[in-house]
A and B are shown apart, each in its own frame.
Chain A
């Protein structure tokens, strides 16, 4: 009743290829963005700093990996390292040119990551599937080795760690210890919205269709005139760009300082799980996946003690931690059994049901 497409006509090609052809969708997305911005003024510092900022950062990284794995069908285990390239590039750039606004460097640092990603994507022309995963695993180990071994990357800092210097935008500190979670959230949110909008245009347009063609059958795609090398490398570059920006945001707008160890293989798996749970080949799935994998354990950590304490059961933080692992693990298996195509597919089914509601046929 509320959600239907009857009566909404598309009279030209531009309207037909719009990302949100339904008026209801446009209103919905507008409301979500509005709510997200309103949260900056309504949420407390824990919600913004420990939940929302990391959620957005991981969503961005998931979008990056989804472009590669979900849309182009190339499995990568180097996500953590590509995030690291972005973070280290951003650090070098902003300390070498402190006069330029740091937002510029966050966007530019992604290009360094894109370059490295394209380089390690070269083998993808010849190898596929698990073998490519192993090749990208090499990228993960090699880059991690670089982060430890090349002191130039951290400006010969004795502690070997990255730290966020004070940087401002319009006179307001957005980076460094004096930046409030509110301001940092707004910056991260704006960057994530911009890049998500760009990604949705990419995947719905010609480039995205080329990626999907390669994913579905690369031989057929090649016969149709799609050049596999360029297309695959472009996927690697764009994917790494997103990961790189996410890495820079992770270190400088979330942690405020980090060691090389943040970009280890576990980080790569973490993002890969988000993509798989969220739904391969879906942008909104990237957000769902990040929410399930990252936010759910936090919620459980808060809810479990609150639920148990009225019954006189007080458990230690370690038991909560074990319970978190078990429940999240069980939920992941549950969702994969119920819907192997990820949370995004559930969302799609829900939307279709809504279209017909309240008169299902």
Chain B
């Protein structure tokens, strides 16, 4: 075949592909997945991307989509870079996405004001702007199942219980190792308030984003200060480096706590010494659920997934599954509410507000015991759900506590202040015009 013919064929094929797409989009729901399998955060991003993709793909393969409508899945690579994330958003905007999940606080922030204009709901699962838990101010943004303030209060509560009561924290010193960005600094006001209330001392160890992998100075200071407990707020390579560094500097691992972002690979990097490391989590680890078995059967075994077989059911993989569970529930609830099959972003926003994942529904979905129940409403876009503590036993995560309820009172104080602050600073912030559904 001559080059000329080949290029003609190419053009024809491209044109065909271009014209075929809109016709196909009529009876389908378009779900873009913002993922990062490249760049410095790929270690955390890849299992999440696999989990997100595989669960939705499984619904397609097993049930033919949701409610009889096929899901059109498309991944857009952000590399955890705000520039590329915004580019991804622009490129998917025209295809009527029903929801976007930016998977980066930096990408979430520019998208928040656009959501209400473009009528595309944002699902920033347990990250992003904590104040967006307020549905009356941010009708288009959802951040279930808990905010960082909830998370911090749970860790402090757990430590307090171990000491024999929160009042026993008096005079203790708690170290706070955090990424020096808005993500890591967000819990600070609450931490200071709790410190005042319960009389403990706080030592801060900020880690700049450019030296996440080199934390020797922070751990040297920690060795000098000897904090009784260490709480970590990190992401990406910072988590693994912190655990490794903690093992090296001989910090007692059973006193080392983290928010919900480290994964198995991070803990493994600490070697045998990482045993005893604890972190919050809100969903199960492992593949012993009918739905995840179905992923194995319909997606992974057929070679439709990028995930290696042994990674299915790991912590961050299941985190991705949970994210997709919320997307699927949002779509299913929207279909129920509107009676339409091919729902739009506006419908899914209503659907998300009416999510009711109770044990019965989880069982129906084949995820019995996978996670605690989650009920969202018009006013509450977060749920403020309890999380549990899990411990690294050297090879896997072991659940070691019952669900810990957040300190509602203190968290609400922070939330009110932040939301008030936001609406005051943004005088032009639009009032909510979206009607609430009766059910919520």
Q: List 10 A-B contacts (CB under 8 A).
A: A158-B186, A159-B182, A160-B182, A160-B185, A163-B426, A166-B428, A258-B110, A259-B105, A259-B182, A306-B14
0/1 interface trace, chain A 33-51, chain B, CB 8 Å (1 if under): 0000000000011100110
Q: Which residue of B lies closest to A145 (CB)?
A: B208
Q: Which residue of A lies closest to B36 (CB)?
A: A318
Of A194-202, A260-268, A279-287, A330-338, the one touching chain B: A260-268
Other than the given A49-B90, A159-B182, A163-B426, 16 more pairs (CB < 8 A) read A44-B94, A45-B93, A148-B180, A158-B130, A159-B109, A161-B109, A257-B110, A258-B110, A259-B109, A261-B181, A307-B10, A310-B9, A310-B17, A316-B306, A317-B76, A318-B75
Contact assessment for A321 and B79 in the assembled complex, using a CB-CB cutoff below 8 Å: yes
Q: With A255-B82, A256-B114 in contact, do A163 and B180 touch (Cβ < 8 Å)? A: no
- With a CB–CB cut-off of 8 A, which chain B residues contact A322? 38
How many residues from A make CB contacts under 8 Å with B?
A: 46
A135-154 residues with Cβ-Cβ distance < 8 A to B are 148
Contact of A158 among B82, B106, B422 (CB under 8 A): B422
**Does any Cβ of B come within 8 Å of A348's Cβ?**
no
**Does any Cβ of A come within 8 Å of B421's Cβ?**
yes
**Does any Cβ of B come within 8 Å of A178's Cβ?**
yes
Q: Give the CA-CA distance A317 to B421 in the complex, in Å.
A: 39
0/1 interface trace, chain A 243-274, chain B, CB 8 Å (1 if under): 00000000000111111111011000000000
Q: How far is the CB of A321 from chain B (nearest CB, A)?
A: 4
Q: Give the CA-CA distance A306 to B428 in the complex, in Å.
A: 42
Q: A residues within 8 Å of B by Cβ?
A: 44-46, 49-50, 54, 95, 98, 148, 155-161, 163-166, 176-178, 254-262, 264-265, 298, 306-307, 309-310, 316-318, 320-322, 325
Q: With A158-B418, A259-B82, A262-B82 in contact, do A163 and B113 touch (Cβ < 8 Å)? A: yes
Q: How far is the CB of A19 from chain B (nearest CB, A)?
A: 32
Contact assessment for B37 and A318 in the assembled complex, using a CB-CB cutoff below 8 Å: yes
Q: With A258-B82, A258-B109 in contact, do A148 and B181 touch (Cβ < 8 Å)? A: yes
Contact of A298 among B35, B87, B110, B129 (CB under 8 A): B87
Q: Give the CA-CA distance A306 to B9 in the complex, in Å.
A: 12
Contact of B421 among A148, A157, A261, A298 (CB under 8 A): A157
Contact of A164 among B113, B186, B422 (CB under 8 A): B113
- With a CB–CB cut-off of 8 A, which chain A residues contact B86? 50, 254-255
The 3 closest A-B pairs by CB, nearest first: A310-B13, A318-B37, A160-B182
Q: Which residue of A lies closest to B87 (CB)?
A: A50
